Structure 1
Amino acid sequence: MNWLEKFSEALALSLNISILWLPLIMLLTFRLYKLFRDKRAIERQKQMSLLPSLTKTYWEVLKNAFSAARLSPQAVLPYYSSMLKILGPLVRINAIIRDYVIINDPDDIKILLSSTEHITKGPDYRMLEPWLNKGLLTSTDEKWQARRKLLTSTFHFKILETYIPSFNKHAHTLVQNLGKASKNDELITNISSHVTLCALDIVCETILGVSLRSQEGQSTDYVNAIKTVCRIAVKRILTIWLWSDTIFNVSTGGRDFYKSLKVLHTFTENIIQERKQKLIYSENLIAGTEERKRVHSFLDLLIGISKEHPNSMTDADVREEVDTFLFEGHDTSSIAMTMALIHIGMNQNIQDDIREELHGIFGDSRRDATVEDLKAMPILERVIKETMRLYPSVSGIMRKINQPLRLKNHIIPAESIVVIIIHLLHRDESMYPDPEMFNPDRFLPDQCIDRHPFGYIPFSAGPRNCIGQKFAMYQMKTVISTVVRYMKLETLGTQKDIVVIPQLVLKAESLPSLKITSLFKNHK
């Protein structure tokens, strides 16, 4: 036998041994992992079993899952409300695949939201990543902390002040459109559509620095793409088999989602490149000098940040933040403004108080609102706060906890998903007597003194609170005050006619009509 034959025989033998040992090693590794995981899983289930739950047995879990799957969107919030009333302010829900724990005690909520450790969003947010990637809304840990620090300066008071003219301009367009739609005593049956387009125009101009003109019927492809992406993203989150990327990608909804997503991303990318070419960079772009007043959009600031921090803010990073704020900025504020207008039209005494407050600021003039004017509207601010109590734009907050969470009376094991349903927290009778009643006086200073600071969180709270909450409040005050200054609102219905459903943001399923009467013959 020559050396080549000997070598071949030795190689074959070693390969045969490897082929025999490889499955054994893999099997042993898998078994050890399973034993370790099972041990952890058993311990975890012991801890979970100590939490209040309606589903103690496997049969109850299946029965509950089946019942929940049959719920209409309108019945979801009342269903969870009944569970909290039965079991108290902490409820465990075994959803077969995942364990959810709902907390509704402000002390527990404070522990969770104040933590710098438990900042990872729930798994549902992963389904937004094809659109928003790992921007401020969906990122976590070091990336989120670095990004939050970079972006905080972009919502400085002096920057927000430069956005007020855009707020005024688009608020006046909304008034004009409502005036046209209500000619000949026509009722406004789609107030939410009018308000949403106004919010979209405002956000696009302040975030991107471009005029979308959606209230004038322009940019319909972009507007429709946003609607499609939001609608399909919600359906995917609520449909368990669409959680799989493979199934979603080949589904009709998945194909429509990515087709619309291409429209959104292409639009954003083109705007970014155009703005980069037009901007003349200067050291004063981000510095706290008078030059800051020259900044015209959030995108301008991001491009300036990317120049100063090229490793932390690439073109892709700029796009994901622009997409994030376009999504968060228009949909969240539009539902609050819509509901505020509905309730102002429903409560003529409140409307009279607001109008009197505005007359004290503006007199009979038709000048635009300034920042100082917006600060001088405590009555309107209370109306907005009460609106966001009853109809928080984001119905719930989710956190995936990677370490055990020690609450006031319970310990929630790691790998659980903790849920705060803001919609239900804001209806806690111990903090808000007669909680379904619309009563802005709840936010008079003396009424707020003893209220738990984590009992009212429309913008979340703690380190992951909404970075754009001042932007939103200025926007809402400008739009609502402009409408009330120029129009009388009458809601033809009651609060019972309002039907809302929780989606990515709260959505109005059904609203009463509005009768609108112009207070001036000619609006500018």
Structure 2
Amino acid sequence: MSFVLECLIAVAIIAILWWYINVTSIRNKLSWVFKIPGVPLLGNGLQFVGSNTEHFNTMFKLLKMSNEIKSVRLDFIHKTAILTADPKLIEFTLSSNSLKILNKGEVYRFITPWLGTGLLTSDGKKWKPRRKIITPTFHFKILEQFVDVFESKGKIFIDELSKETKNNGFDVYPYVTMCTLDIICESAMGVSINAQKQKHSDYVTSVKNMCRIVVERSFSPFQMFDALFYFTNNYKTQKESLSILHTYTNNVIKQKRKELEASDKKFIDIEDDFGVKKKMAFLDWLLQTTIDNKPLSDKDIREEVDTFMFEGHDTTASAISFAMYLLANNPKEQAKVYEEAKSMFGDDKEKSATFKDLQEMKYLENVIKETLRLYPSVPIYSRCLTDDIEYQEGKIIPKGTQLGIFAFGVGRDKDYYKDPEKFMPSRFDSMDGKTPFSYIPFSAGPRNCIGQKFAMLEMKSTLSKLIRNYELLPSVPEHKLILVPETVLKSKNGIKIRIQNRK
């Protein structure tokens, strides 16, 4: 045996021993969490092999094994994870300001080729100053400016749906996602991509490709490893799609920066008040923002604009689509939404909703909240600990642990919601707030969804306009959803309903 081969074997043995000692240490510290039985080496990996349509059922079954604990430990070849639907552990995790627990989980690295280390994917050290910069862009005086964008894109949406009025059942999601992509692009960058009219443009196709690839990498034992992913067709598609997406955003940034320099505008300091004289897209704000009197680089700006694009279209599209399905299948609740709209707008289907109008749509807001309880756009949140942290006395969550927060599960827990499988928007009129972390469709704590107010206004605007123009009806034959946890919650067989014109 050659010296080189002996060295390689020695290095391999040392690496295996280091891995074994590290994994054993983590698992010993997590002895207080109910352990799901697995197989040697593979752990619980085989329980998640197969169609992702079974993942929710698998998670519910595993959590049920823990009885009242609502948390289980899952072991895999290269990591150990806690899956939890326990509001106490969720509150501890999401409300913490500690850098040890602010980092997102491993799965988020699959989106970094597109988003870089923007607000969604950045670690705690980078995230905190970025959050401070971006928070003012969601002040109500800024949000009020986007109502016109919601209205104009919503009108196109209503027009596009008109071709389906004689259909016994059609998938609403493709229509909704193009509408929300139109809205977010104009709100984020101040430019129109006409996604609803040009569904097959290179930009729209590239967005779809990247969302699909992130999902496939998350569940593929082969593609989750970068060294193996490079040999797949998805890697080639990703490379081409990223070139299109980044080139488009970079060109818009350059053009906007030239316009800013030509106008000789003063940079905005993030501590200034929120006086706004003209409509500003998210990008416009970032171009005029400084940190320590220095403007953000083009790369910094692109990361945040792309993050806003990614987070702001599919999540909202998911919520609107599921709300349409629930209203179609619950005519009494739909009638209440229509009566609320009629009390505000009369029989005028075309009248634009103002910012004040949207704020006063209280029942529609309950409908959206109840939709998100049953169908949270992001069904699972993930955190990764960068150091040991004490959860409760004698209970340590060790460095390297992946924490999976099962928002979908906790929202359907009978301990917190009466008749949890029923669609009852009125329940939000009497919520006592005793367990706030049992309702987390926008996450919670420091890393909650920064755009939730924007999203709520967008959803209200779109759904209100929809209900004023169309009556939503169940598809024929009856359509049953097949839920899948992708980048956002979706239905594998579509979200099908019927529509007919309001008389």
Tell me the TM-score normalised to structure 1 length: 0.87
Q: Secondary structure at the match of 1:380?
A: helix
Structure 2 residues without counterparts, runs of 5 or longer: none
**Alignment-mate amino acid for residue 362 of structure 2:** P
Alignment of 1:38-437 (within 5 A): 41-55=23-37, 58-59=39-40, 62=42, 64-70=44-50, 72-88=51-67, 89-117=70-98, 118-182=101-165, 185-217=166-198, 220-279=201-260, 280-283=263-266, 287-288=272-273, 290=275, 292-306=276-290, 309-310=293-294, 313-365=296-348, 366-408=350-392, 410-437=395-422
Q: How much is the aligned-residue C-alpha RMSD, in angstroms?
A: 2.7
**Whose helix proportion is higher, 1 or 2?**
1
Mark the CA change 1:310 to 1:488 in structure 2 (over 3 Å): closer, same or farther: same
Equivalent residue for 1:476, pick from 452, 459, 462:
459
Note if contact 2:169-2:475 (Cα within 8 Å) is conserved in structure 1.
no
**Alignment-mate amino acid for residue 374 of structure 1:** L
For residues 467-498 of structure 1, what are the alpha-carbon distances to aligned partners after superposition, in whole Å with 9 as ceiling and x for unaligned?
A: 00000000000000000011111122699701
Note if contact 2:323-2:371 (Cα within 8 Å) is conserved in structure 1.
yes
Separation (CA, whole Å) in 1 of partners of 2:95 and 2:432? 20
Q: Secondary structure at the match of 2:192?
A: coil
**Alignment-mate amino acid for residue 54 of structure 1:** I
Q: Secondary structure at the match of 1:250?
A: coil
Separation (CA, whole Å) in 2 of partners of 1:196 and 1:396? 21
Mark the CA change 1:50 to 1:175 in structure 2 (over 3 Å): closer, same or farther: same
Mark the CA change 1:30 to 1:246 in structure 2 (over 3 Å): closer, same or farther: closer
Separation (CA, whole Å) in 1 of partners of 2:13 and 2:483? 49
Separation (CA, whole Å) in 1 of partners of 2:347 and 2:178? 28
Structure 1 residues without counterparts, runs of 5 or longer: 1-19
How far is the alpha carbon of 1:211 from its aligned partner?
Answer: 1.1
How far is the alpha carbon of 1:282 from its aligned partner?
Answer: 2.6
Q: Secondary structure at the match of 1:100?
A: strand
**Alignment-mate amino acid for residue 181 of structure 1:** E
Mark the CA change 1:62 to 1:496 in structure 2 (over 3 Å): closer, same or farther: farther
Q: Secondary structure at the match of 2:81?
A: strand
Mark the CA change 1:189 to 1:40 in structure 2 (over 3 Å): closer, same or farther: closer
**Alignment-mate amino acid for residue 68 of structure 1:** F
Name the stretch that deviates more: 320-329 or 43-52. Answer: 43-52
For residues 213-233 of structure 1, what are the alpha-carbon distances to aligned partners after superposition, in whole Å with 9 as ceiling and x for unaligned?
A: 111126611111111111112
Separation (CA, whole Å) in 1 of partners of 2:109 and 2:383? 12
Note if contact 2:171-2:495 (Cα within 8 Å) is conserved in structure 1.
no
**Alignment-mate amino acid for residue 346 of structure 1:** N
How far is the alpha carbon of 1:50 from its aligned partner?
Answer: 3.8
How far is the alpha carbon of 1:428 from its aligned partner?
Answer: 0.9
Aligned length: 491
Separation (CA, whole Å) in 2 of partners of 1:259 and 1:160? 34
Name the stretch that deviates more: 460-469 or 298-307. Answer: 298-307
Note if contact 1:346-1:493 (Cα within 8 Å) is conserved in structure 2.
no
Q: Secondary structure at the match of 2:420?
A: coil
Note if contact 1:393-1:506 (Cα within 8 Å) is conserved in structure 2.
yes
**Aligned: 1:499 with 2:482:** yes
Which has more radius of gyration? 1
Mark the CA change 1:493 to 1:377 in structure 2 (over 3 Å): closer, same or farther: farther
Q: Secondary structure at the match of 1:150?
A: helix
For residues 149-203 of structure 1, what are the alpha-carbon distances to aligned partners after superposition, in whole Å with 9 as ceiling and x for unaligned?
A: 1111111110000000000111111111111332xx2235121111100000000
Separation (CA, whole Å) in 1 of partners of 2:336 and 2:277? 35
Separation (CA, whole Å) in 2 of partners of 1:27 and 1:516? 67
Q: Secondary structure at the match of 2:170?
A: coil
How far is the alpha carbon of 1:277 from its aligned partner?
Answer: 1.7
> Quick one: percent identity of the two aligned structures?
34
For residues 82-116 of structure 1, what are the alpha-carbon distances to aligned partners after superposition, in whole Å with 9 as ceiling and x for unaligned?
A: 11111131100001211011121111111111111
Name the stretch that deviates more: 409-418 or 280-289. Answer: 280-289
Note if contact 1:158-1:293 (Cα within 8 Å) is conserved in structure 2.
no
Mark the CA change 1:260 to 1:38 in structure 2 (over 3 Å): closer, same or farther: closer
Mark the CA change 1:216 to 1:42 in structure 2 (over 3 Å): closer, same or farther: closer
**Alignment-mate amino acid for residue 466 of structure 2:** V
Note if contact 2:322-2:495 (Cα within 8 Å) is conserved in structure 1.
no
Separation (CA, whole Å) in 1 of partners of 2:163 and 2:17? 70
